[in-house]
Amino acid sequence: MASVNINQGESIESALRRFKRKVMSEEIIKDAKKHAFFMSRGQKAKLKSALARKRNKRKQRPPRPRS
């Protein structure tokens, strides 16, 4: 669980910024979304396969010319 200690003279905004950064680095939001609803093994496998196809398709594309 992410926690942030507020330092002496520190504003709430900067402590909140540090907290948000810590939550993002620990991937708490991502994990919560993942466990938000039940997904059967078959659905997980289909999703994993679809993501792999998408990833491979992206790798197959020729690189974009840089300006």
Residue 7 in domain = no
CA triple 22-23-27, angle to 5 deg? 115
Query: Does residue 25 carry a pLDDT above 80?
Result: yes
Domain assignment of residue 54, given as a range? 12-60
Contact between residue 22 and residue 5 where contact means Cβ atoms under 8 Å apart = no
Residue 2's pLDDT is: 83
Query: What is the C-alpha separation between 8 and 4, in angstroms, rounded?
Result: 13
pTM score, whole prediction? 0.50
Residue 23 in domain = yes
Residue 2 in domain = no
Our count of domains for the chain comes to 1
* pLDDT tens digits for range 9-24: 999 999 999 999 999 9
Residue 48's pLDDT is: 95
Residue 6 in domain = no
DSSP label at residue 37: S
Residue 56 in domain = yes
* pLDDT tens digits for range 27-48: 888 888 888 989 899 999 999 9
Residue 5 in domain = no
Query: What is the C-alpha separation between 65 and 61, in angstroms, rounded?
Result: 12
Residue whose structure tokens are 């659905």: 43
